[in-house]
Chains A and B, each alone.
Chain A
Amino acid sequence: MIDGLDPVIHVPKRLAAMAILANAPSASFRFLKEQLRLTDSDLSKQMSALEAADYVKSTKDGHGRGASTTFSMTRAGRKAYAAHCAALRALMDPA
């Protein structure tokens, strides 16, 4: 493993989700799905992986058909994302 690159975040779909969550207090399932151009099941899978790593947390609003899920980044996620981005930049500019 390259120093600082996080294998959980390294997957492009998850990296993009983390980049969105780093720039908004929360993001809805719908917004992430549209921006990442993923199917419901694929997005659920990617967000579950990030939740399992304790990088994001999800909140469900409402019940039934009107219910919506929003995601926000945890402190650990923020730290891991910042370290991952710093490692990527260091790879581009080792000096």
Chain B
Amino acid sequence: MVSSMESGQVREQLLLVERAAAAPYVQYPPTPWWYAPIVGAWTAAFIAGFAWWRENGAIFTAWLGILLAAEALFLIWMRRRHGALPMPGHGKPPAEIAAVWRGYFVGVAAIAVLVALAWWFGGVPVAAAAAFALVTAGLVIYERKYAIAAGKVRDRLA
């Protein structure tokens, strides 16, 4: 039973909560070198599949199915590897991480616009190539910023 608590104990419990709550965001295995290019290639493959959109609906649908299945397997693997993979909308990330996540979503929107422009001016092959380059570079930048933010959180809560 909780009968009485001194302010020191309360502060200790709140610090314990803050440290544990931050763990899913800042305690993670190193990102493999191939992560960014693989996600870039996946995005390029997704866009390239639109070449079949009007030509062959069956191939287009099968291609999307294969890519979505690959993504699902990749997410399962990432979740198992991490152990407690955080997801947007599930919990409250530390402020440092939240700022990086906001930057991520702005980056995704910017890349979407640039890829759409590449599609408009150059067609599907140019859009796929642009998607590979932009997504790979964007993820490398994001991973670096995330690692710095996670380090700051670990230092703050040490």
In the complex with contacts A12-B16, A85-B17, A2-B2 CB distance below 8 A = yes
What does the 1/0 interface line of B56-100 toward A look like (CB < 8 Å)?
000000000000000000000001101111110011110000000
**B31 contacts the other chain (CB 8 A):** no
Chain B neighbourhood of A85, CB < 8 A: 14, 17
In the complex with contacts A35-B27, A68-B80, A16-B2 CB distance below 8 A = no
- Which listed residue, A2, A23, A36, touches B4 by the CB 8 Å rule? A2
Contact between B14 and A88 (Cβ–Cβ < 8 Å)? yes
- The interface residues of chain B, by DSSP majority, are classed as helix
Which A residues from 20 to 38 make CB contacts under 8 A with B? 20, 22-28, 30-32, 34-36
Chain A neighbourhood of B84, CB < 8 A: 20, 23-24, 26-28, 31-32
- Which listed residue, A5, A17, A34, touches B20 by the CB 8 Å rule? A17
CA distance A66 to B14 in the complex (A): 36
User: Distance (Å) between the CB of B50 and the closest chain A CB?
Assistant: 31
Residue of A nearest to B24 (CB): A24
CA distance A52 to B58 in the complex (A): 50
Contact between B17 and A88 (Cβ–Cβ < 8 Å)? yes
User: Distance (Å) between the CB of B72 and the closest chain A CB?
Assistant: 15
CA distance A36 to B145 in the complex (A): 27
Q: Which 6 A-B pairs have the closest CB atoms?
A: A31-B83, A23-B91, A19-B20, A27-B84, A16-B20, A24-B84
Additional A-B contact list (6), CB under 8 Å, known A16-B17, A17-B20: A16-B20, A20-B84, A23-B24, A31-B83, A34-B27, A88-B13
8 contacts between A and B (CB under 8 A): A5-B5, A17-B20, A19-B17, A23-B21, A30-B83, A31-B84, A88-B13, A92-B11
